[in-house]
């Protein structure tokens, strides 16, 4: 009764018109005929792509800052947060002269996500204190072998000539909330322009 | 005599190619119509508007791996689809495609053979078509195939009776079994469906059942029997079965339009004042239009009505259509008696 659409079922003999079935068949055919002139609901996929939801969680990106340095410091919080244990990494120390490549003194020499294990929950993104890892609206490509699904830094790190916009996932509010007040102050000191 | 044979040969070739082309494009039409009725687009990748789709399907069918089950009887397994295809193509020869014209010093009829038992010929050839399905289903040595074949045979036998009786009333009215003459009789007169509406309805329903089309497609019945009689078939042998169904559809559309809708006759043909070849071309075009409409009707019904349950199918055939067909004969006889047209 919640929807007010329930109908009392009446069991009675069918009238002659109902027994003939033909009127019902004709009305059914009228419905299908009408549908022939309706706009098809098809999205012609490879040429035409349905827009992803702004918070869609596809495969990951390791962001660089505006100068092109990798933001990841290989702290391992994402790997700890990951419920599927899909992330592994090896840390290394930044050598003099590599300041343009890595933003901080420590960086990830190896960073791998097993896309077959990953459940695309986004907890790594939530755990990351450096705003380095984000889930994008890109779908993980199909592969013939399992090995191809283990994405290394070659596939994960953002390319400077094809930057990925993550502003939909990282709004200013979220960033502030994650950073906390002290981090915000720190940010103001070292990054007053608010670069990503 | 040589000209006669040559003309007939060209005509046979024409009917053969026409049946194949129409059947090939019926598969395209089927997919397109079903897509449009379900708010989809349908095949549109092969060629403009997907028009080369039948060609792509054909190539696919020919290049697929051919499997013959180990425990099947191989000879019968190959014979099944061959019979289905052969009989489907044979039925087209008695259909008159256009009115006769004068050419090459003789009268040309666009009908391969106007045998005086044309309707009976179609019936017998179509009923042989069941053997294709039965033999194919039996030879597969598979329970689903056998069930499909059993269903096909009992369904076709049941509906052939009602179909035959529906035709009897028409034959009583026309006084001939020749298709050519039945079409000529409708020239400048009301078409037969006006005199035989009930007979037409019964014939149409039976035609759906005879061609194994939905709502009577129980022999293949994907949901229960996987593929019915063609479960074990692959490659072009499957293609022949599927193709035979579409050719049957084409032939029954042609027969329905010839028997009940005036065949190649144009409305107000006498008033048009056309003669000779142009008239024949126009007549053929109009006849073809009717056939296309009926093929569309076949598809339209398929994508509207769900499949019958098996007992409902036999109930409809034996307890509803058969008495109705007999009633139709009685009414036709009474009307003819009242008119004084009983010889």
Portion 153-172 of B in contact with A at CB < 8 A: none
Closest CA to A120 of A146, A151, A90, A157: A151
Catalogue the E-assigned strands of B58-100.
none
| Cα gap A156→B295, rounded to integer Å | 55
Determine the straight-line distance between the first and last CA of chain A, rounded to whole angstroms: 54
Q: Chain B residue closest to A47 (CA)?
A: B45
Question: What is the reported pLDDT for A191?
Answer: 67
Q: What is the band of A87 on the pLDDT scale with cuts at 50, 70, 90?
A: very high
Closest CA to B134 of B155, B160, B152, B116: B152
The answer to whether B39 contacts A44, with C-beta atoms less than 8 Å apart, is no
A128 Cα distance to chain centroid: 16
Question: What is the reported pLDDT for A118?
Answer: 92
| Cα gap B282→B86, rounded to integer Å | 30
Phi first, then psi, for residue B273 (nearest 5°) are 70, 25
Residue B106, chain A, CB below 8 Å: the answer is no
The order of strands in the sheet holding A106-114 is: A87-93, A106-114, A150-151
CB B48 within 8 A of CB B110: no
Any idea how long chain A is?
196
The answer to whether B33 contacts A40, with C-beta atoms less than 8 Å apart, is no
Distant-in-sequence contacts of A28-32, Cβ < 8 A, 24+ apart = A28/B304, A28/B305, A29/B300, A29/B301, A29/B304, A31/B304, A32/B37, A32/B300, A32/B303, A32/B304
CB-CB neighbors (< 8 A) of B304 in chain A: 25, 28-29, 31-32
Q: Chain A residue closest to B36 (CA)?
A: A36
Q: With b meaning 16 or more CB within 10 Å and e meaning fewer, what string describes B309-328?
A: eeeebbebbeebbbebbeeb
Give, for A35, the enclosing helix (H) or strand (E).
Answer: helix A22-35
Query: A194 or A20: which carries more pLDDT confidence?
Result: A20
Residue where the block lists tokens 């239009």: B289
Cis peptide before A19 (omega within 30 of 0): no
Phi first, then psi, for residue A102 (nearest 5°) are -125, 135
Determine the straight-line distance between the first and last CA of chain B, rounded to whole angstroms: 38
Closest CA to B213 of B165, B156, B291: B156
Question: What is the reported pLDDT for A1?
Answer: 63
Residue B282, chain A, CB below 8 Å: the answer is no
A178 contacts: CB under 8 Å, gap ≥ 6: A126, A129, A131
Closest CA to B251 of B90, B129, B114, B54: B90
- What are the distances in angstroms from CA B156 to CA B35, B42, B123, B131? 29, 32, 11, 11
| Cα gap B67→B53, rounded to integer Å | 24
The answer to whether A25 contacts B40, with C-beta atoms less than 8 Å apart, is no
Task: Quote ipTM for the complex.
Answer: 0.77
CB A142 within 8 A of CB A103: no
Q: Chain B residue closest to A31 (CA)?
A: B304
Out of A35, A42, A44, name the one closest to residue B37 (CB): A35
In this prediction, what percent of chain A has a pLDDT beyond 90? Answer: 14
Closest CA to B32 of A45, A36, A46, A29: A36
CA B29-B30-B34 angle, 5° bins: 115
Out of A25, A32, A44, name the one closest to residue B37 (CB): A32
pLDDT digits (tens, 9 = 90+) for A153-192: 888 888 888 888 777 777 676 666 666 655 666 666 666 6
DSSP B91: G
- What are the distances in angstroms from CA B255 to CA A53, A167, B127, B294? 55, 67, 15, 10
Residue B318, chain A, CB below 8 Å: the answer is no
Burial of B38 from C-beta contacts in 10 A (0-12 / 13-18 / 19+): middle
pLDDT of residue A76 exceeding 70, the answer is: yes
| Cα gap B232→B77, rounded to integer Å | 9
Torsion of the alpha carbons at B104, B109, B110 and B113, rounded to the nearest 10: -120
Mean pLDDT, 10 residues at a time, over chain B (343 residues)? 81 86 89 89 85 88 85 84 87 80 70 80 85 86 85 85 88 84 78 83 88 79 76 85 88 88 76 72 86 91 86 86 91 85 61
CA A161-A165-A168 angle, 5° bins: 180
Which residues of A touch chain B, with CB atoms under 8 Å apart? 25, 28-29, 31-33, 35-36, 38-42, 44
| Cα gap B58→B243, rounded to integer Å | 10
Give, for B80, the enclosing helix (H) or strand (E).
Answer: helix B74-90
């Amino acid at each position: 009764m919640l929807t007010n659409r329930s109908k009392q079922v009446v069991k009675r003999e069918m009238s002659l018109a109902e027994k003939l079935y033909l009127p019902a068949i004709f009305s059914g055919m009228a419905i299908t005929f009408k549908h022939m002139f309706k706009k098809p609901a098809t999205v012609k996929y490879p040429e035409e792509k349905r827009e992803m939801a702004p918070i869609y969680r596809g495969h990951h990106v390791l962001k660089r800052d505006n100068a092109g340095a990798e933001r990841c410091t290989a702290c391992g919080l994402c790997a700890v947060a990951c419920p599927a244990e899909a992330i592994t990494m090896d840390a290394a120390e930044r050598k003099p002269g590599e300041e343009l490549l890595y933003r901080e003194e420590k960086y990830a020499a190896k960073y791998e996500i097993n896309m077959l294990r990953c459940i695309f929950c986004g907890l790594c993104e939530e755990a990351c204190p450096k705003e380095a890892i984000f889930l994008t609206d890109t779908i993980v490509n199909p592969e013939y072998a399992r090995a191809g699904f283990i994405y290394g830094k070659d596939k994960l790190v953002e390319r400077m000539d094809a930057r990925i916009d993550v502003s939909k996932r990282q709004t200013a509010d979220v960033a502030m909330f994650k950073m906390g007040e002290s981090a915000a102050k720190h940010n103001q000191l070292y990054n007053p322009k608010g670069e990503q | 005599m040589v000209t006669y044979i040559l003309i007939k040969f060209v005509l046979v070739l024409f009917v053969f190619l026409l049946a194949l082309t129409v059947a090939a494009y019926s598969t395209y039409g089927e997919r397109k119509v079903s897509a449009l009725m379900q708010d989809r687009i349908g095949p549109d990748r092969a060629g403009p508007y997907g028009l080369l789709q039948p060609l792509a399907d054909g190539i696919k069918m020919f290049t697929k791996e051919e499997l013959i089950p180990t425990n099947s009887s191989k000879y019968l397994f190959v014979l099944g689809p061959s019979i289905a295809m052969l009989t489907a193509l044979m039925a087209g020869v008695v259909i008159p495609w256009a009115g006769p014209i004068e050419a090459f010093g003789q009268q040309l009829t666009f009908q391969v053979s106007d045998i005086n038992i044309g309707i009976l010929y179609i019936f017998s050839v179509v009923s042989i078509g069941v053997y294709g399905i039965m033999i194919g289903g039996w030879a597969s040595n598979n329970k689903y195939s056998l069930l499909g074949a059993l269903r096909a045979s009992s369904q076709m036998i049941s509906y052939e009776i009602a179909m035959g009786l529906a035709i009897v009333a028409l034959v009583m009215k026309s006084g001939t079994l020749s298709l050519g003459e039945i079409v000529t009789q409708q020239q400048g007169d009301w078409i037969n469906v006006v005199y035989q509406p009930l007979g037409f309805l019964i014939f149409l329903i039976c035609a759906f059942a005879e061609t194994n089309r939905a709502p009577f497609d129980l022999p293949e019945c994907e949901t229960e029997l996987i593929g019915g009689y063609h479960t074990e078939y692959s490659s072009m042998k499957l293609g022949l079965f599927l193709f035979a169904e579409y050719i049957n559809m084409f032939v029954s559309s042609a027969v329905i339009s010839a028997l009940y809708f005036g065949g190649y006759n144009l409305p107000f043909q006498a008033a048009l004042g056309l003669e000779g070849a142009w008239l024949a071309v126009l007549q053929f075009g109009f006849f073809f239009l009717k056939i296309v409409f009926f093929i569309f009707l076949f598809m339209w019904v398929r994508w509207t009505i769900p499949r019958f349950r098996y007992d409902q199918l036999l109930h409809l055939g034996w307890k509803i259509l058969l008495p109705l067909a007999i009633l139709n004969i009685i009414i036709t006889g009474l009307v003819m008696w009242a008119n004084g047209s009983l010889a």
